[in-house]
Structure 1
Amino acid sequence: MPAAVDPGDPDQRIVEAAAQLPGRGGVTGWAGLRWMGGSWFDGVDRHGTLAPVPLAVGSGHRRRVHPGLVVSQEVLDLTTVVRHEGVRVTVPLWSVAYEMRKATSDTAAVVAFEMAAYDDLVSIEELTRFTDSSLWLRWGVERVRRVLPVLEENSWSPMEPVMRLAWTLEEVRPRPLANWPVFDLNGRFVGTPDLIDPVAGVYGMYDGGLHLAGEVRHRDVTKEAAYRRLGLEGAVMMAGDLADHSPFLARLDQAYARAGRRRADDRLWMAGPPRWWVPTSTVAQRRALSDDERSRYLTYRHAA
């Protein structure tokens, strides 16, 4: 007997949704991004509920109700839809803009963009141009414009932008760098904290349920000890801080206070990477890598 199809499998849901498309249009939003290679888009919301598959069908088509689908009848430019691996999808810029415009909050919109940028599907520059040239006065475009200045292209997981936005919420701390590599004064690579203010010497790490025990926790503790030896002070955001950021911000303020009391000769980290380091913090830098370079320089992101 053939194996049973998992009704929650996101790829199966996308294929079945695409079969409901009319003569034009395409799968969009999270589903379009996943089909184009977005590894962080699984169609499950933060409550564990299956999100509907969004379909962009353009204007002039009757809205048909299907379970598990949501239909957008916004006017589509002919260049908006492409066929990829047998499925019609909207181009990544349209898909991510759709996801950002329909997001439940500005933070969710930022997360959507940054997880698409993780796989180099979109860049900030491209989204800026697309917003001005193609979104016009569409519903929700004001949110896209509002969050453009705070977007980042080097987040490695969905909780990192959440932590960064909390870090800068009160506008009293400098915007930290995302996944900036840390080196000792001899140029030896030490680690890559989720966020870091390299001037103050303060870093931030997100510690979710995955980090509570076993090899991941051992690796985290080892990293924390290495950062302390360099004179860096850290603050951890935990899953319990997501609803109320104040405990994390209190820990962050304490880290800044400790860092401020350190002497100059206690600062044993380099201000930036050594010259031999190959930068991969922007979409443009990663797109310029060869396949071999990507396998060497980007694989570590999955284990971070």
Structure 2
Amino acid sequence: MAATAHSLVSRPGIAVCGERLLLSDVQVVDGVRVTIPVRSVTFEMRYAHDRRAAVRAHDMAALHDLVSIAEISEWAVAHRGWTGIARVRDALHFLDENAWSPPEVDLRLAWEELGIRDVVCNHPVFDLAGRHVGTPDVLDLEAGVVGEYDGSLHLEGKHRAKDIRREGDLRAVSLEYVTMVSADLRDPSGFKARTLAARKRARAVAGPRRWTLDPPAWWTPSVTVADRRALSSDERRRLLSHRWAA
């Protein structure tokens, strides 16, 4: 909430912070004065305790199309002297606009720590005939390795069966697979080792690539904030509702 009173004090569940606030930074939502999305998200990023938390703050806001990487970058350039702006600049190179859950962010950053930088989140994969094969959580474009996070939801029968079918379809086009589970969030060393082994197997596969990220002409893209903001209300309901069950 954005307020101008100086008598406010912090208490359990509420932290009071005094910073410069322009009138253009404020909007009224349901009768409550709040800061605009880019101001709110950069605030969270600036005061994040580490890079991971800063990236999570952006990626989960981008999931709801509240901010884009370009908007965060422009704000950082325009507010060079603000507290914590170095944290925002550091995080910029690690942001993604299409992560569907916080653990997917952690998976991607674990790969970043291994030096795997050419990755995309939730990009649809097609075979060379234009058939949609699957949409993996994270994809290592250089080695051709799929990274998936399996939380408790993925252990349920119907969801598990769907995951197994998707894994088979992606393997059929010569993509390797590595899975992160909740224990890997506390200690990602095992997941990192499995990733390196999967990349080694992927590189051992001979022959031309049998998959592509290039969609057929009829496909409606939705992998960036700009893509999704351009959708109609009906298209959003039809194309994006599955993200909340990821």
TM-score range, shorter chain: over 0.9
How do 1:253-264 and structure 2 match up within 5 A?
Answer: 253-264=196-207
- Find the structure with the greater CA-based Rg: 1
In structure 2, give the amino acid aligned to 1:57. A
Residue 196 of structure 1, aligned match among 129, 139, 143: 139
Aligned match for 1:79, one of 24, 32, 42: 24
SS in 1 for 2:198: helix
Residue equivalent to 1:221: 164
Q: Is 1:131–1:144's contact at 8 Å kept on the other side of the alignment?
A: yes
Aligned to 1:66: 11
Q: 2:63 is matched with which residue?
A: 118
Query: Which residue pairs with 2:122 in the alignment?
Result: 179
Q: Return the offset for 1:64.
A: 2.1
C-alpha displacement at 1:199, in angstroms? 4.2
Number of aligned pairs? 246
2:155 aligned partner, one-letter code: L
Whichever residue aligns with residue 122 of structure 1, its letter is V
Closer, same or farther in 2 for the Cα pair 1:213/1:300, shift >3 Å? closer
RMSD over aligned Cα, in angstroms? 1.7
User: Does the 8 A contact of 2:46 with 2:84 survive in 1?
Assistant: yes
Please, which runs of 5 or more residues in structure 2 have no aligned partner?
A: none
8 Å contact kept, 2:3–2:33? no
1:67-118 Cα deviation digits (max 9, x unpaired): 3210011111111111111111111111111111222221011011010011
Shift in CA distance, 255/227, structure 1 to aligned 2, threshold 3 Å = same
Task: After TM superposition, give the deviation of residue 268 of structure 1 in Å.
Answer: 2.9
- Partner SS for 1:74: coil
For residue 275 of structure 1, what is the aligned residue in structure 2?
217
Letter in 2 for 1:143: R
Report if aligned partners of 2:178, 2:194 keep a CA contact under 8 Å in 1.
yes
- Given that 2:137 and 2:146 are in contact with CA atoms closer than 8 Å, whether structure 1 keeps it comes out as yes
| Equivalent of residue 112 in structure 2, options 165, 168, 178 | 168
The Cα shift of 1:188 comes to 1.2
Residue 137 in 1 paired to residue 85 in 2? no
**By how many angstroms is 1:259 displaced?**
0.9
1:57 lines up with 2:12 in the alignment? no
What amino acid is the match of 1:186? A
SS at match of 1:166: helix
Between 1 and 2, higher relative CO (CA 8 Å, sep ≥ 6) is seen in 2
Query: In 2, Cα distance between the equivalents of 1:259 and 1:225?
Result: 15
| Counterparts in 2 of 1:271 and 1:99: CA distance versus 1, 3 Å | closer
**TM-score using structure 2 length:** 0.93
**Amino acid in structure 2 at the alignment position of 1:146:** D
Cα deviations by residue, 1:238-268 (Å, 9 ceiling, x for unpaired): 1111122211111111111111111215x43
Q: How far off is 1:200 after superposition?
A: 2.4
CA distance in 1, matches of 2:104, 2:27: 31
Secondary structure at 2:97 match in 1: coil
How far did residue 291 of structure 1 move?
1.3
The alpha-carbon deviation at position 285 of structure 1 amounts to 1.3
* Separation of aligned partners in 1, 2:183 and 2:13: 30
- Matched residue type, 2:22: D
Matched, 1:104 2:46: no
| Structure 1, 60-69 or 198-207: larger mean CA deviation | 60-69
TM-score, structure 1 as length reference = 0.76
Name 1:235's counterpart in structure 2. Answer: 178
Q: Where does the alignment leave 5 or more consecutive residues of structure 1 unmatched?
A: 1-26, 28-55
Counting aligned pairs with the same residue, the percent is: 47
Paired with 2:27 and 2:33, the residues of 1 have a C-alpha distance of 6
Q: Shift of residue 57 of structure 1? A: 3.5
Amino acid at match of 2:214: G
Give structure 1 regions of 4+ aligned residues with deviation exceeding 4 angstroms.
Answer: none
- CA contact 2:118–2:142 (8 Å) conserved in 1: no
Q: Distance in 2 between matches of 1:104 and 1:211?
A: 30
Query: Structure 1 residue 271: deviation in Å?
Result: 4.8
Contact 1:82/1:90 (8 A) holds in 2: yes
Q: Could you tell me which amino acid in structure 2 is paired with residue 70 of structure 1?
A: A
Describe how 1:37-56 pairs up with structure 2 within 5 A: 56=2
Q: Is the 8 A contact 2:118 2:141 kept in 1?
A: no
Secondary structure in 2 aligned to 1:72? coil
Amino acid aligned to 2:58: F
